[in-house]
Amino acid sequence: MSKNEEVKNGVIFPIGDKNTAYAQYFVGQSYLNSLVADPEVNIGVGNVTFEPGCRNNWHIHHDGYQILLVTGGEGWYQEDGKPAQSLKPGAVIVTHDGVKHWHGAAKDSWFEHIAITAGTPEWLEPVADALYEGLHQ
């Protein structure tokens, strides 16, 4: 049994549907509940839920940024060239324009965050299994 199983039922917002639109940029299963997708607002807000072991590929936000508000479970965030940071509920991450990074669940835990995103993402390579498997909470 995985840690933080209650996250799969949604912590604050429902987890949403399987994230099929972005599945090619993830290792494992994620879920997306778009909270703000208004074409007149240049910021997207989504509740993203990760099954244990799920993480997104390295990516960069161009002409924008991303703010992550961790609401449940345990996960990781890493910027290129820096050590990975353990994430737990209440953590806030600000990723500036042009910074290569990834985020996702711990190997043994569900994980959920609100992602506030502006700009255009450039999706890159998956996080190397050896890097991910070497992380410890």
Task: Write down all domains in the chain, each with its CATH number in brackets.
Answer: 5-134 (2.60.120.10)
pTM: 0.94
| Neighbour tally for 38: CB within 10 Å | 10
pLDDT at 67: 98
Contact predicate 44/121, CB 8 Å: no
What is the pLDDT at residue 16?
A: 92
Digitized pLDDT (tens) for each residue of the chain, 137 residues in all: 788 888 988 889 999 999 999 999 999 999 999 999 898 998 999 999 999 999 999 999 999 999 999 999 999 999 999 999 999 999 999 999 999 999 999 999 999 999 999 999 999 999 999 999 999 86
Burial annotation 86-115 (CB, 10 A radius, 16+ → b, else e): ebebebebebeeebebbbbbbbebbbbbbb
Q: Answer yes or no: are the C-beta atoms of 127 and 58 closer than 8 Å.
A: yes
